Amino acid sequence: MATETVENYIKAIFLVCRESATGEAGMSRIASAVGVTTGTATSMVKKLAGARLARYERFGGVRLTPRGTRVALDILRRHRLVETFLVRTLKLDWAIVHHEAERLEHALSPVVLEALDVHLGRPATDPHGDPIPDRGGRLRTGRFGPLASHNAGACVRVEQIADQREMFLRFVATHGLVPGRSVRVRAVDHGARAMTVQSRGAGPVTLAFQAADAILVSAPSR
């Protein structure tokens, strides 16, 4: 079984690769995601390559092997199911469950994980809208785009929150910008790089484009 440290690196590489236009993870991005120096990350990536969990070439990007991808999907499944359990069942604040799940995800046996999934009704996404891999390691992907890409008058549905820092999660929750909510774009100011939006049941709020980019939405309803 992979160690906790190995699992953390594999998960980080997987997520960084998904965000990358090239499908590869740069060493500095991996180091930032794990919270270590680039030198430390490089040493671990070489070990992962030696264990055939990752592919790495000097001065090149990093990719997971099929074996490494299976490990990544398993740890993501555990992490996101734990987050869902903490929010739905234990009623913890969705802004703090990421760090709690980081601690718990490594300890779940396959039996407990399956029981947790059944208990929760086999959810497709976690509280932040991130897809939960199924038992076969399949990861649902949605065609979502940033809120910032929409024009005034558009009505969209929030699907996923990409920025999961505690402060940002508390901010979007305060204004009803959470997965499942309908949001109307009231105004867009390209000069100020900001937009005013309003969630159903909440007042209007002005967001910088940078913040709106972290709120992923589905296509406008017709």
**pTM confidence score:** 0.90
**How is the beta sheet containing 215-218 ordered, strand by strand?**
145-146, 215-218, 155-161, 182-189, 194-199, 205-208
- Pairing status of strand 215-218 against strand 194-199: unpaired
pLDDT band for 140, please (50, 70, 90 cuts). confident
CATH number for 163? 2.30.30.90
Q: Residue 69 falls within a domain, yes or no?
A: no
Percent with pLDDT over 90 in the chain:
90
Q: Residue 72 falls within a domain, yes or no?
A: no
> Rounded to the nearest 10 degrees, what angle do helices 97-104 and 66-88 cross at?
130
Sign of the four-CA dihedral 119, 124, 130, 135: positive
Q: Residue 71 falls within a domain, yes or no?
A: no
Q: Residue 193 falls within a domain, yes or no?
A: yes
Give the end-to-end CA distance of the chain in Å, rounded to a whole number: 49
Residues 119 and 160 in one domain: no
Three-state DSSP class for 154?
coil
Residues 99 and 126 in one domain: yes
Q: Where among 113, 141, 169 does a domain terminate?
A: 141
pLDDT tens-digit map of 2-15 = 789 999 999 999 99
Residues 87 and 135 in one domain: yes
Question: What pLDDT does residue 138 have?
Answer: 92
* One-character DSSP codes across 78-123: HHHHHHHHHHHTS---TTTHHHHHHHHGGG--HHHHHHHHHHTT--
Residues 91 and 110 in one domain: yes
CA–CA dist 158, 138 (Å, integer):
23
Residues 86 and 135 in one domain: yes
Task: Please state the rounded mean pLDDT for residues 104-120.
Answer: 95
The total number of structural domains in the chain stands at 3
Which H/E stretch holds residue 68? helix 66-88
Residues 96 and 157 in one domain: no
pLDDT tens-digit map of 36-87 = 999 999 999 999 999 999 999 887 899 999 999 999 999 999 999 999 999 9
Three-state DSSP class for 164?
coil
Range of the structural domain that residue 9 is part of? 4-64
Looking at the predicted structure, is the pLDDT value of residue 1 above 70?
Answer: no
Residues 136 and 156 in one domain: no
Task: Please state the rounded mean pLDDT for residues 164-168.
Answer: 95
Mean per-residue pLDDT over the chain, rounded: 94
Question: What pLDDT does residue 81 have?
Answer: 98
CATH number for 29? 1.10.10.10
Residues 11 and 40 in one domain: yes
Residues 47 and 84 in one domain: no
Q: Residue 73 falls within a domain, yes or no?
A: no
Q: Residue 70 falls within a domain, yes or no?
A: no
pLDDT tens-digit map of 19-36 = 888 899 999 999 999 999
CA–CA dist 96, 4 (Å, integer):
20
